[in-house]
């Protein structure tokens, strides 16, 4: 099971996640987020990552030129597009990307289908729908709907995951990977090392 620890804001938390076995780290490049991190900090953290830990930048409705520039500047391998970006936007980005889909109901599957097979899209992150924020709300995804999505395409499951429920979520949904941010924090932007380790351990114990 692949595990992404998102909302990394400092080197200490990055090191904790890497040592615990994280496959990917997420850096929020959206200035309105409480987990926003300056590009210079991201660049310094990414420069110290082991070769098989994937650095991912999270962007929300950003200009394509800005996304490309920040990815190159910071050494980011993937852009996670967490806003209202269209399939045409993704195609024009010219960089490998994950498209976040905020799962509200079965109608959301139409949006998922719009992006499938598009150039640059490497996969989908399924998050909980909220009309208050683009992500990081801690709200739990409807696992039954997420399971339906996972039948047609590999997904990364996010939304309300914690060390206590991630094993059940994986067993129910059968995603390609899981993503956590607020569920392993002690405060917004600061991780709890014990929760990070417990989350990754719990995710890896589920037979796949």
Catalogue the long-range contacts made by 36-39 (C-beta closer than 8 Å, 24 or more residues apart): 36/9, 37/8, 37/9, 37/10, 37/189, 39/70, 39/73, 39/74
2-204 folds as TIM Barrel (3.20.20)
- Positions marked catalytic: 6, 127
Whether the full predicted model's pTM is greater than 0.85, yes or no, is yes
Q: How far apart are CA 161 and CA 46, in angstroms?
A: 25
Instruction: Count Cα neighbours of 169 within 13 Å in the Cβ-side half-sphere.
Output: 30
| Tens of pLDDT, residues 117-176 | 777 899 999 998 665 555 555 678 889 999 998 988 889 999 999 999 999 999 999 999
CA–CA separation, 176 and 178 (whole Å): 7
Q: Where are the domains positioned within the chain? A: 2-204
């Amino acid at each position: 099971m692949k595990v992404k620890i998102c909302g990394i804001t400092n080197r200490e938390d990055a090191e904790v996640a890497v040592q615990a076995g994280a496959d990917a780290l997420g850096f929020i490049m959206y200035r309105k987020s409480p987990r926003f991190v300056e590009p210079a900090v991201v660049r310094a953290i990414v420069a110290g990552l082991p070769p098989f830990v994937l650095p991912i930048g999270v962007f929300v409705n950003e200009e394509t030129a800005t996304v490309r520039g920040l990815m190159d500047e910071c050494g980011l391998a993937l852009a996670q597009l967490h806003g209202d970006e269209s399939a045409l936007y993704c195609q024009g980005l010219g960089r490998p990307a994950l498209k976040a889909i905020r799962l509200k109901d079965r109608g959301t599957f139409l949006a998922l289908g719009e992006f499938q097979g598009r150039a640059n899209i490497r996969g989908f992150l399924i998050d909980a729908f909220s009309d208050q924020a683009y992500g990081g709300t801690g709200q739990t995804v409807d696992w039954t709907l997420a399971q339906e999505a996972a039948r047609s395409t590999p997904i990364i499951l996010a939304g309300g995951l914690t060390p206590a429920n991630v094993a059940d979520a994986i067993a129910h949904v059968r995603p390609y990977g899981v993503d956590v941010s607020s569920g392993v924090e002690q405060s917004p932007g600061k991780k709890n090392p014990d929760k990070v380790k417990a989350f990754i351990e719990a995710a890896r114990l589920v037979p796949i």
